[in-house]
A and B are shown apart, each in its own frame.
Chain A
């Protein structure tokens, strides 16, 4: 018995009954471009997210360099006002929606299922759909550069500047519908991750044994789930104003531009935590491993993350302290903003305590993680100064704020993500990144970052507003602006070092062992890179840091002692293959979901609808193309629903035949084999399923009939 991701034998092909909805033949390529396009494997989707987000990172970085070139000297002439406004809008939108969020999603996708001992996410095809929607949303947004001008209203798109009166071009439309598509991608994947984490943890993995990165993934996913609808509503209102003459934000007709600000920041502030919590999770994984100590106060780290997630909903007005909302509202939100610093501070001290009296190995991931603590602290402290709202009337909309949030999102999120990339690279690609280049990467990154963004604190306090394409020499701001530009190019150099490191590792292929860092969590218990089915046997979890406890015990003094006979998981090169019932050294008889075209087809409908909306407005309210896009979307969804999540395998066919006539084919195809596998394994180990853990990664027909409905 082979899995469907292996090359099917002619025999299998011959006996596979053609029984899908019939739009397209099921893809079967195990390798090559098409295997990536049709993949539903969470690991491949994770890599796709990562690569795509990195390309967008380069685009957003080039935009940043253009901005810094323009501002390097007073009265710069590199970009005109219009180009500058487009570029800063796209820089912000790109970095938030197309870089940091999807880079986090790359890790959610790849690592979370491995960390919780699952074989895939709950809804593999939905996962593919999220990726394609993200890609199409990003390409749609960027196509605006070629189609008459990119959006120029800022990533925050304040009304009424974004109304049809003040922004008659198509740029804002591209922004509105681009974000709508990206919102769909994020929301769908958040649902997917939440369901996965709540239902598919390995037996014995209670929530309080779940690795901290997965915990932060869970919290971020909930934030995404609740925050995205708010901006979706706001964008819908804006698009009705623009396309259909509504007046939600038009003060002349009784609308209110401040309503937009409330909606945007009710989304926008949780969004900040959506961006930073995953990085906090990565750092919380890296620090213990390279300190040889467990995470200090794991429960406190979990609950402070939850506290940040909750409090993050009650601070949005601190983006609006200059709006004039009155002393009561301003006081309330000053206090809430101040006190959200408390759980954040707890995290910082717990991280330091994790390293305290440890045995610190300053590898590249560890450097980035410690750099994260140092830099994020600066962002946190300047955040507290914003909470002093009377003085925020001086700070807001100046470069002081630009400095602040870059210390949070670059010094925080991107430092954390870099730590995560260097830490998990061997696991994902099976090769080691070079440490010397890594250190060069870190130090240029660190110095460049501080040169670029440190001076912005001063520039802001010295009276340089944000979003200005030019400034006069009379303001006395030239020196620090030049320093900042030099810093930006230092970061660019650092990124080149990083890319060279990747290229070199690809060339040299220094093979990575399963557990190169002596790590603590389950993803390190399987080979690098992991087989497509992840775990040959679903692990049973007995402790937090399960994998570490398989390798070590603590002596009376609380010091780690290596276990004589480690049950090191499946990763060791000399680890004999498990005595699988099927005696199959390829697929372990594990039934994985089959690749599919339909997530791609369905997602393709979204940009078509979006172009239809953009050009429908300027072509006499003709929305035919929107209908076309909707038809593509619905056709994709319909075919998807009709398609079994996994193609039947040989012995399944007999069952199908046995039940044919009574049993719906798609249910029979996905269900019995999977159930059978799961039953055997949990039976073998007698593990206690935690939270309804299921080893079956197939999604029961795209959210249709659930696996329990599939038993014959």
Chain B
């Protein structure tokens, strides 16, 4: 009876799992088994047959263990089984057979390693520098004059070559549906390619433990049609317009007085380097390492006490009054 229970648990777990993997795409934005770009698909195509073979070995071994436990159970204390000390042929067999299976897998593996390590080249490749910070992402578009944070905007259907490096500790850049992760290491440059089949927003997050708020270091990859991407670049390369009057104007002044400007760049107004570039903040849907959706309410909560919302945040609590926060938000809302 206990054995039946054990079987049932195994099978229902496995079956429910497969079911969820198969039809849960909508709710699983980081599902590696549901690639949405050619790089991630190569990995998936490589592993799928390995999962099948592993599944067969799993069934074989579990079957043998169960069979042995049921079939050869002691029924009388007088049983005197034949003393078999070994069998060279059998043992050679189950040494060689797995080795042969693994040989096949290894050939496919090495082929894919070479493939995914090839750097993307060509006229339609977009280059982006990815810089990891505790705990947010910076994206520079060399030659396009764009710097943004936490949202990597790319054209769909075109390979994007990423150059990864870190300002502080080791992070790992991971947009699961588009590519496997690659570490982002201070003092080193790593290269990887991402590509999305279709326009859309893809989830990702830092995958290497990077300190206190590692869990809050998310990212988004936003794929546009080629035309939309060019439009996005044009918008984001332009300097920000500075409001001179009203709440927004007062907010702009506060941005300098309260020290925001010493950490944040607003192209044409300030040139801070520690925090994310805010020139076109309103072009993004998330902020603070993609931990929060960008809206008035979330900005307000954030500005009251950043380390409270995101442990360890380098942005300190500036002891802002509600009035100051309102003005600052009014200013930030002009950064379109």
Q: Which residues of A contact B42 (CB under 8 A)?
A: 390
Task: Say yes or no: is A30 at the interface (Cβ < 8 Å to chain B).
Answer: no
A300 to B, closest residue via Cβ: B91
Interface membership of chain A positions 29-40, coded 1 if the CB is closer than 8 angstroms to chain B and 0 otherwise? 000000000000
In this assembly, does B50 line the interface, its C-beta being within 8 Å of a C-beta of chain A? yes
Interface string of B125-155 (1 = CB under 8 A from A): 0000000001000000000000000000000
Q: In the assembly, what is the distance between CA of A560 and CA of B110, in Å? A: 51
Contact A256 B187 (CB under 8 A): yes
Q: Which chain B residues (1-36) contact chain A, with CB distance < 8 Å?
A: 2, 5-6, 9-10, 13, 17, 20-21, 24, 27-33
A458 at interface (Cβ–Cβ under 8 A)?
yes
Binds B, one of A140-148, A234-242, A470-478: A470-478
Least CB distance, B310 to chain A, in whole angstroms: 9
Closest to B206 in A: A465
Contact B215 A358 (CB under 8 A): no
> For window 48-71 of chain B, which residues contact chain A by CB distance below 8 Å?
50-51, 54, 57-58, 61-62, 64-65, 68-69
CB distance from B207 to the nearest CB of A (A): 4
- Beyond A359-B79, A390-B43, A463-B31, whether A322 also contacts B84 by CB under 8 A is no
Given the known interface contacts A450-B10, A464-B30, A560-B83, the answer about A390 and B206 at a Cβ–Cβ threshold of 8 Å is: no
What's the nearest-Cβ distance from chain B to residue A443, in Å? 5
Contact partners of A439 in chain B: CB under 8 A: 2
Does B297 interact with chain A (Cβ within 8 Å)?
no
Judge whether B208 is part of the interface by a CB distance below 8 angstroms.
yes
In the complex, B212 has a CB within 8 A of chain A: yes
Q: Give every chain A residue within 8 A of B106 (Cβ-Cβ).
A: 334-335, 338
Q: Could you tell me if B180 and A391 are in contact, using CB atoms closer than 8 angstroms? A: yes
Does B212 lie within 8 Å of A475, measured CB to CB?
Answer: no
What is the bound-complex CA distance between A558 and B84, given in angstroms?
8
> Is B215 touching A81 in the complex (CB atoms < 8 A)?
yes
B209 and A466: CB pair below 8 A? yes
Interface assignment of A350: CB less than 8 Å from any CB of chain B:
yes
CB-based contact A355/B83 at 8 Å: no
Is A80 an interface position by the 8 A CB rule?
A: yes
B174 touches A (CB below 8 Å): yes
Query: Which residue of chain A lies nearest to B40 when distances are taken between CB atoms in the complex?
Result: A394
CB of B233 closer than 8 Å to a CB of A: no
Complex contact B72–A374 (CB within 8 A)? no
Which of A166, A388, A470 is B109 in contact with, Cβ under 8 Å? Answer: A388
Complex contact A377–B98 (CB within 8 A): no
**Which chain B residues lie closer than 8 Å to A58 at the CB level?**
none
Q: In the bound complex, what is the Cα–Cα distance between A457 and B21 (angstroms)?
A: 11
Q: Which residue of A lies closest to B62 (CB)?
A: A374
What residues of chain B lie closer than 8 Å to A154, measured between beta carbons? 209
Give the complex CA separation of A398 and B172 in angstroms.
12
Alpha-carbon gap, A152 to B112, bound state (A): 36
Q: Which residue of A334, A356, A446 contacts B110 across the interface (Cβ within 8 Å)?
A: A334
Given contacts A80-B311, A292-B80, A559-B80, contact A85 B212 (CB under 8 A): yes
**Are A559 and B83 touching (Cβ within 8 A)?**
yes
Nearest CB of A to B241, in Å = 33
Q: Which residue of A lies closest to B134 (CB)?
A: A166
**Are A161 and B105 neighbours in the complex by a CB distance under 8 Å?**
no
**Cβ contact of A297, chosen from B73, B74, B86, cutoff 8 A:** B86
CB of B116 within 8 Å of the partner chain: yes
B102 contacts A by Cβ under 8 Å: yes
For the side of the interface on B, what is the size category?
35 or more
Known: A294-B83, A394-B180. Contact between A463 and B58, CB under 8 A?
Answer: no
Which of chain A's residues have a CB closer than 8 A to the CB of B98?
A: 341-342, 345
Question: Measured between alpha carbons, how far is A343 from B98 in the docked complex, in Å?
Answer: 10
Bound Cα distance from A554 to B80, whole angstroms? 10
Contact B91–A324 (Cβ < 8 Å): no
Residue in contact with B65 in the complex, picked from A153, A335, A352, CB distance below 8 Å: A352
Contact with B along A317-356 (1 / 0, CB 8 A): 0000011101100110011001101110110111011011
Is A469 in the interface zone, CB < 8 Å from B? yes
Minimal Cβ-Cβ distance residue in A for B215: A468
Q: Is A345 a contact partner of B94 (Cβ separation < 8 A)?
A: yes
Of all chain B residues, the one with the shortest Cβ separation from A161 is: B169
Choose one: A291, A389, A398; the contact of B207 (CB below 8 Å).
A398
Q: Is B203 an interface residue (CB 8 A)?
A: yes
Contact A258–B188 (Cβ < 8 Å): yes
B44, CB-defined interface residue at 8 Å: yes
| Residue A454 at the chain B interface, CB threshold 8 Å | yes
Contacts of B17 in A (CB 8 A): 454-455, 457-458, 480
- Establish whether residues A294 and B181, one from each chain, have CB atoms under 8 Å apart when the complex forms: no
B165 CB to closest chain A CB (Å) equals 10
State whether A166 and B169 are in contact (beta carbons under 8 Å apart), knowing that A322-B180, A394-B176, A561-B80 are contacts in the complex. yes
Q: Are A338 and B102 in contact (CB under 8 A)?
A: yes
Q: Which of B80, B134, B185, B188 has the most CB of A within 10 A?
A: B80
- List of A residues within 8 angstroms of B180 by Cβ: 322, 390-394
Say yes or no for A397: interface residue by CB 8 A criterion.
yes
Q: Check A360/B74 contact, CB under 8 A, given A342-B98, A374-B61.
A: yes
User: Residues 150-168 of chain A: 1 if any B CB is under 8 Å from the residue's CB, otherwise 0?
Assistant: 0011100010110000110
Judged by a CB distance under 8 angstroms, whether A422 is at the interface is no
A388 to B61 CA separation, bound complex (whole angstroms): 21
Task: Pick out which of these stretches binds chain B: A215-223, A379-387, A570-578.
Answer: A379-387
Most central of B50, B57, B90, B209 by chain A CB within 10 Å: B209
Residues of chain B lying within 8 A (CB to CB) of residue A256: 187
Query: What is the chain B residue whose CB lies nearest that of A339?
Result: B102
Is B264 an interface residue when CB atoms closer than 8 A count as contact?
A: no
A507 within 8 A of B: no
Contact A377 B95, beta carbon cutoff 8 Å: no
- Identity of the chain A residue whose Cβ is nearest the Cβ of B213 in the assembled complex: A81
CB contact between A463 and one of B30, B54, B208 (< 8 Å): that residue:
B30
Smallest CB-CB A-B distances: 8 pairs: A463-B30, A393-B180, A251-B187, A476-B27, A468-B215, A297-B86, A359-B79, A81-B311
| A/B interface sample: 16 pairs, CB < 8 A | A167-B211, A294-B85, A296-B87, A322-B207, A322-B208, A323-B183, A324-B164, A334-B113, A346-B91, A360-B72, A374-B65, A392-B180, A451-B13, A462-B30, A468-B214, A470-B215
Not counting A346-B91, A384-B50, A393-B43, a sample of 4 additional A-B residue pairs whose C-beta atoms are within 8 angstroms of each other reads: A167-B211, A297-B85, A455-B13, A475-B30
Chain B residues within CB distance 8 Å of chain A: 2, 5-6, 9-10, 13, 17, 20-21, 24, 27-33, 40, 42-44, 46-47, 50-51, 54, 57-58, 61-62, 64-65, 68-69, 72-74, 79-87, 90-91, 94-95, 98-99, 102, 105-106, 109-110, 112-117, 134, 164, 168-170, 172, 174, 176, 179-183, 185-188, 190-191, 203, 205-216, 311-312
